[in-house]
A and B are shown apart, each in its own frame.
Chain A
Amino acid sequence: MRVHVDQEKCQGHNRCYALAPELFDVDDYGTAHELNGGQVPPELEGKARLAVSNCPEYAITIDEDS
Chain B
Amino acid sequence: MSHPPVTDWETDFDHTDVAYAADPFPIWDELRAKCPIAHSDRYGGVWLPTTHEDVAAIAYDTDHFTSQSVIVTEGRPMAPAPIGIAPPISSDPPFHHDARRLLLPAFSPKAIAALEPFTRAYCHELLDAVEGQTELDAAEDYAQHIPVRVIAKMLGFPAGDADQFREFVTNTIESVDLPVEKRIENFGRLEAYLRDQVEDHIAHPRDDLTSFLLDARLDGALLDEGHVGGTIALLLLAGIDTTWSAIGASIWHLARTPTDRERLANEPELMPFAIEELLRAYAPVTMARLVKDDFEFNGCPMKKDEWVLLPFPSANRDPAFFADAGRVELDRTENRHAAFGLGIHRCVGSNLARMELQVALEVFLERIPVFELASGDPAAVRWSGGQVRGPRTLPLRVG
Smallest distance from the beta carbon of A14 to chain B beta carbons, Å? Answer: 5
Selected contact of B104 from candidates A12, A15, A50, A55, CB within 8 Å: A12
- In angstroms, Cα B101 to Cα A12, docked, is 11
Smallest distance from the beta carbon of B90 to chain A beta carbons, Å? Answer: 18
Selected contact of B333 from candidates A13, A17, A27, A50, CB within 8 Å: A50
A30-B351, A50-B333 known; A56-B109 Cβ under 8 A: no
- In angstroms, Cα B346 to Cα A57, docked, is 10
Chain B positions within 8 Å of A57 at CB level: 342-343
Tell me if A26 and B340 are in contact (CB < 8 A). Answer: no
- In angstroms, Cα B75 to Cα A51, docked, is 42
- In angstroms, Cα B74 to Cα A4, docked, is 45
Smallest distance from the beta carbon of A28 to chain B beta carbons, Å? Answer: 4
- In angstroms, Cα B342 to Cα A12, docked, is 10
Chain A positions within 8 Å of B272 at CB level: 18-19
- In angstroms, Cα B335 to Cα A19, docked, is 12
Selected contact of A54 from candidates B101, B336, B338, CB within 8 Å: B336
Selected contact of A14 from candidates B109, B336, B342, CB within 8 Å: B109
Selected contact of B334 from candidates A17, A28, A54, A58, CB within 8 Å: A54
Binary interface profile of A, 37-59, with partner B (CB < 8 Å = 1, else 0)?
Answer: 00000000000001001111110
Judge if B350 is at the interface, Cβ distance under 8 Å: yes
Residue of A nearest to B100 (CB): A29
Chain A positions within 8 Å of B110 at CB level: 26
Tell me if B351 and A54 are in contact (CB < 8 A). Answer: no
Selected contact of A11 from candidates B107, B108, B344, CB within 8 Å: B344
Chain A positions within 8 Å of B336 at CB level: 53-56, 58
Judge if B44 is at the interface, Cβ distance under 8 Å: no
Smallest distance from the beta carbon of B144 to chain A beta carbons, Å? Answer: 26
Chain A positions within 8 Å of B346 at CB level: 11-13
Selected contact of A53 from candidates B334, B342, B350, CB within 8 Å: B334
Smallest distance from the beta carbon of B59 to chain A beta carbons, Å? Answer: 10
Q: Name 21 A/B residue pairs within 8 A (Cβ), A-sorted.
A: A11-B343, A11-B344, A11-B346, A13-B350, A14-B351, A17-B109, A26-B108, A26-B110, A28-B104, A28-B108, A29-B104, A29-B105, A30-B351, A53-B333, A53-B335, A54-B276, A54-B336, A55-B336, A56-B337, A56-B340, A58-B336
A-B complex: 6 closest residue pairs judged by Cβ atoms: A53-B334, A11-B346, A29-B104, A28-B105, A56-B336, A14-B109
A residues contacting B by CB (< 8 A) are: 11-15, 17-19, 26-30, 50, 53-58
Interface contacts beyond A30-B107, A56-B337, A57-B342: sample of 8 additional A-B pairs, CB < 8 Å, sorted by A: A12-B346, A12-B350, A18-B109, A28-B104, A29-B104, A30-B108, A30-B351, A54-B333
